Structure 1
Amino acid sequence: MIAKTYPVKIFTPAPMLGYGYDIVDFWTIIMDERTRPDAIIMDSGSTDPGPYMLGSGRTIVSKQALMHDLSPVLEACADFGIKLLISSAGGAGTNEQVNFLVDVVREISERKGYKFKVSTIKFKNDRQAILKKLQAGAITPCGPGPALKEEDVLNAVAIVAQMGAEPFMKALEDPEVDIIISGRSYDPAPFAAYSMHRGVHRDPAWHMGKIVECGGQCAVPKGRSILATMYQDSFELTPVTPGQRCIPRSVAAHTMYEKTRPDRLPGPGGVLHLNNVQFKQQADNRSILIHGATFVPTPTYQIKLEGATQVGFRSAFIGGIRDPILIRGIDDFLEQTVRARTKAAFPLLGEAAGPQLIFHIYGRNAVMGPLEPATTIPHEIGVLGEVVAETQEDADAIAGLARVMVLHAEYPGQLATAGNFASPLTPLEQSVGPVYKFSVYHLMDVEDPLSFFPIESFFIGSPNDNKTKPVPSERPVRRAEDVVTTLPEAPRHNITSSRPRISDLAAVVRSKNSGPYEITLDILFDDAGIWKHVRDSNVLTPEAMKRLYRLADDDILTCMFFEPALGWKCTFKRPANQLQGSVGERDTFGTQLHAPLLDVEVPALNLA
């Protein structure tokens, strides 16, 4: 264990490795001894895009994007002895993606003349061990998903597990290790692990990790890079880009981001309790000091399993309709004419085990589907036809016929006989490829947090026998006189209206997926008085959400106000036929389901 010296500085240049960052911001932090970090830590994966990355093995960003982001990072690590931790390599965090990222680091290191000791942390993908856990009753659903079955484990094309902090801390016990590259991990884990390795208490370590794993997204306006300064029982966040600042609302917002509840954040080995968290703006009006969270260990240590199964192949076509006569009768046209004629040629279409044809009507209800409360008739619509079948050939054939029917079939009152469909792309149908679903998204009890995550260490890069120092790149830094001191203005609220709406009063209104089975809605306010008024107005109750989103009684998982964040959160189950990123998906990331909240009316505020 290294000496407990505070503060500990952790730098996250980007919300995700490969998403890019400002090179001037980067070198300004690195070259200044006052801000130079002890570690650079970056997340590299997510289930937000659905199961495709895990099922297909494709990386979430290109090799070129990884090379672009890693080249300055490796140069800084080589020159200044900065530790580098990268989690969930490649996107899904498979063992193959860990190897891929190691090869990228090796290629840069050999070309530049760096030498690093690297530790990899992979997943011991022992299906028989998982099945034994299942048979012992030690695997349960994560969220409102179905119970795991043996065939789900056996048929999955890939399975990974989210590691906690312990594997990272084990790898850090070797003081010679320069770089740690891990498979799938709980997003905050490497941040918490490095902090605890340096003697920071687990409470602020885990809270910081939850916020910083998305980089500068916790700043206003949203940024890319963030610097965390860790003390033993608290931490400070400072955005890197001039003109950005961290404020209580923006940091609180990211604390509760994409989680089922705002006050309890479960993870491997415990739950982070946030009821007593406090956010204190610092004298520079850009940084914020945070403390008060409590990490409560759970009696049983659990890791989350993620697995994907292929369900078929997809083909798609897209086009627009501007004819108001056809738009008025679009449902009957697509269902009774297009679908019926396509099914006549492909009789198994729509059967339980047969091909599926789904129409997404943009401009009406393509995003929200059965949750959509609006009933207005648009002046134009876009139609995306999605076909999923057992083979790509079948999907292409069905999509081809369905598109022709949309283009040329007749409809009542038709005046335009040349065609019904404005097609922007050729080829007119697109072969999309394999389609997957999350078949494994479950919590597994483990006795040892390290047992499924073997660590391997080795040297990579150039031996540099001549002891010549690599030639540094240009390192642009921001001069003090170039720094913009103007900070974002406080939002202006329309509080004088006799019937203000949520969009008039809130600072943040958003929606997001919370895993593959849930959608979570967040509203945050800058003003405590406005927050209390909305809370006491009873316009954001479970009953109101059931009416607004057409939900059943048991659909709502959380609906509560949360004072430490001046926020409100409602989490509900996804529609059963809309598995995230799979057949019929409408909004993989869940980011456009907040819109009905904007128009919720609130009683007039008493300004006396």
Structure 2
Amino acid sequence: MEPERERVSAEGPDEIRILAATAILGYGFPDASFAAGLARRPHVIAVDAGSTDPGPYYLGAGESFTDRTAVRRDLERMLTAARSLGVPVVVGSAGGAGAAPHLRWLVAIADEIAAEQDLRLRTAVIAADVAPETVLRALDEGRITAVPHGPELTGADVRASTRIVAQLGVEPLVEALRGGADLVLAGRAYDPAVFAALPLLHGFDEGLALHLGKILECAAIAAVPGSGSDCMLGTLRRGHFVVEPLSPDRRCTPTSVAAHTLYEKSDPYHLPGPGGHLDLTDCAFTPEGERGVRVTGSRHVPAPYTLKLEGARLRGFRTVSLAGARDPVFIRELDGIVAGVRARVADNFPDLKPEQYELLVRVYGRDGCMGPLEPRPVVGGHEVGLVIEAVADTQELADTLCAFARSTMLHFGYPGRLSTAGNLAFPYSPSDFHAGAVYEWSLYHLLRLGADEAARAFPIRWTELPEGAS
């Protein structure tokens, strides 16, 4: 028999302990840290499983950016531990991008684990996909706005999207836990939501719960030294919360926790999310014990309910060639060489219109990371790395364009050259790589919902894992 869940008083618990095992499901965590967290008897084990950081490819292609073996290992350890304690596991942004194929992928992994470990899991599956027709209707009704500095949405953007998801908020997660879920597997989710759901079910302060979730979403990254592959414990009480790493080699400081509060945010005091924003104007960060930090003063300010939409569309196909150069004259003349190569490509393929392909040359050692935004676009060393990239409507055309650009640059004559060929050094043979399909963001916009729509926007599908078990 599985253990009963920890009983709470009629007024609710005085504190909720949340174990964040890792920054993203599949990033791993040490056994010793995890065991230390389990010894604190958490009320829930929660993990964010995704991000837009790896770019639009994974949403568009329906593939995970995390390795299946690593994801299964993490989830198996979490599920078996949670069943021994009788507490739920909550996972958001399943499969990395959180669309339907990613969610199916993670449900299948959980089903395998349940069957092999002889677990019986009442499972809530919450999809985050949004139909194009829903987005088009909202666009016609004026309920979609661009994010700051982003482009306005068009119907063509929506129709070109291969997949569209919305970052679900806490509401469906709370309902899943209210329904007695042993395991919650959600599609694309607002990062703090998976950690805040159980506290909000028990009536804890929304500002504190969401701010704690903001810290826990990346696990021990908020510690010193930081790590996304180590565990963090959050303890939420009625007037504050405490975060502490579970490895004795790490500690939280007021600076490290405050700094992580600003992570990925442009405003240090106001952090927007579904249904409002966190106001951190009056926050205080103070040491707690040897390795923890206490946080007070976080407030949630309600606002019209909005969901962030994410969509991806196919841009084309990519071929890449990697090369290096260390001739100082070549490096000095590099801008002219690149311009000359572009001109030769255009001249050699006169039937191609400029919009049918894109030719990129990234110069690492000069401005490879920031491109035109680089404040000091000068070569500071004796060599540079070059990434020659062609994107076109077909893989074959991308191959042709990349090969022509690469061979042209290899032999291109420039002022002051002493040799007759061999401008580039290639670390690999073959020198060109198929990078496959290229996706770009088509939606990164806000959808405004009615006051009663948030709770029913993401229906829960209940299932028992392993599915098909008698």
Mapped partners of 1:464, 1:132: distance in 2: 41
Q: Which amino acid aligns with 1:222?
A: G
Q: 2:435 aligns with which of 410, 413, 432?
A: 432
Correspondence for 1:134: 139
Mapped partners of 1:125, 1:462: distance in 2: 26
Gaps of 5+ in 1: 466-608
Q: 1:16 aligns with which of 24, 27, 33?
A: 24
User: 1:199 Cα shift?
Assistant: 2.5
Mapped partners of 1:375, 1:132: distance in 2: 46
Distance 1:268 1:464, change over 3 A: closer
**Equivalent pair of 1:327/1:381 in contact (CA under 8 Å):** yes
Once the two structures are superposed, what CA deviation does each residue of 1:351-410 show, in whole Å capped at 9, x if it has no partner?
Answer: 2x2211111011111112222222544311111111111111000000001111111222
User: 1:463 Cα shift?
Assistant: 9.1
Q: 2:34 aligns with which of 26, 36, 43?
A: 26
User: 1:143 Cα shift?
Assistant: 1.9
Distance 1:428 1:232, change over 3 A: same
Mapped partners of 2:30, 2:144: distance in 1: 43
**Equivalent pair of 2:318/2:437 in contact (CA under 8 Å):** yes
TM-score (norm 1): 0.73
Mapped partners of 1:207, 1:230: distance in 2: 10
Correspondence for 1:412: 415
**Equivalent pair of 1:211/1:251 in contact (CA under 8 Å):** yes
Matching of residues 224-239 of structure 1 within 5 Å: 224-239=230-245
Aligned with 1:125: secondary structure?
coil
User: 1:450 Cα shift?
Assistant: 2.5
Correspondence for 1:58: 63
**Equivalent pair of 2:129/2:166 in contact (CA under 8 Å):** no
Q: Which amino acid aligns with 1:254?
A: H
**Equivalent pair of 2:99/2:129 in contact (CA under 8 Å):** no
Once the two structures are superposed, what CA deviation does each residue of 1:321-357 show, in whole Å capped at 9, x if it has no partner?
Answer: 0111111111111212x22222222226672x22111
Aligned with 2:455: secondary structure?
coil
Distance 1:386 1:277, change over 3 A: same
**Equivalent pair of 1:113/1:462 in contact (CA under 8 Å):** no
Aligned with 1:133: secondary structure?
helix
**Equivalent pair of 1:115/1:463 in contact (CA under 8 Å):** no
Correspondence for 2:395: 392
Once the two structures are superposed, what CA deviation does each residue of 1:499-550 show, in whole Å capped at 9, x if it has no partner?
Answer: xxxxxxxxxxxxxxxxxxxxxxxxxxxxxxxxxxxxxxxxxxxxxxxxxxxx
Q: Which amino acid aligns with 2:141?
A: A
Mapped partners of 1:228, 1:134: distance in 2: 40
Aligned with 2:356: secondary structure?
coil
Q: Which amino acid aligns with 2:433?
A: Q
Correspondence for 1:216: 220
Distance 1:375 1:191, change over 3 A: closer
Confirm whether residue 310 of structure 1 aligns to residue 314 of structure 2: yes
Mapped partners of 1:228, 1:311: distance in 2: 42
Mapped partners of 2:429, 2:31: distance in 1: 38
Matching of residues 110-149 of structure 1 within 5 Å: 110-123=115-128, 125-149=130-154
**Equivalent pair of 1:313/1:388 in contact (CA under 8 Å):** yes
Aligned with 2:215: secondary structure?
helix
Aligned with 2:456: secondary structure?
coil
Distance 1:92 1:348, change over 3 A: farther
Matching of residues 533-572 of structure 1 within 5 Å: none
**Equivalent pair of 1:229/1:236 in contact (CA under 8 Å):** yes
Correspondence for 1:445: 448
Correspondence for 1:531: none
TM-score (norm 2): 0.94
Q: Which amino acid aligns with 2:238?
A: Q
Q: 1:107 aligns with which of 106, 109, 112?
A: 112
Confirm whether residue 328 of structure 1 aligns to residue 332 of structure 2: yes
Correspondence for 1:241: 247
User: 1:124 Cα shift?
Assistant: 5.1
Correspondence for 2:182: 178
Correspondence for 2:348: 345
Aligned with 1:148: secondary structure?
coil
Mapped partners of 1:184, 1:384: distance in 2: 32
Q: Which amino acid aligns with 1:187?
A: D
Mapped partners of 1:216, 1:208: distance in 2: 13
Once the two structures are superposed, what CA deviation does each residue of 1:108-130 show, in whole Å capped at 9, x if it has no partner?
Answer: 11111111110011135332222
**Equivalent pair of 1:114/1:462 in contact (CA under 8 Å):** no
Distance 1:327 1:158, change over 3 A: same
Mapped partners of 1:285, 1:355: distance in 2: 58
Confirm whether residue 267 of structure 1 aligns to residue 281 of structure 2: no
Q: Which amino acid aligns with 2:41?
A: R
User: 1:417 Cα shift?
Assistant: 2.6
Mapped partners of 1:368, 1:348: distance in 2: 32
Correspondence for 2:283: 277
The two structures, once aligned, show a CA RMSD in angstroms of: 1.7
Fraction of identical pairs, as percent: 39
Gaps of 5+ in 2: 1-6
Q: Which amino acid aligns with 1:38?
A: H
Mapped partners of 1:276, 1:302: distance in 2: 25
Mapped partners of 1:214, 1:195: distance in 2: 18
**Equivalent pair of 1:350/1:357 in contact (CA under 8 Å):** no
User: 1:27 Cα shift?
Assistant: 1.8
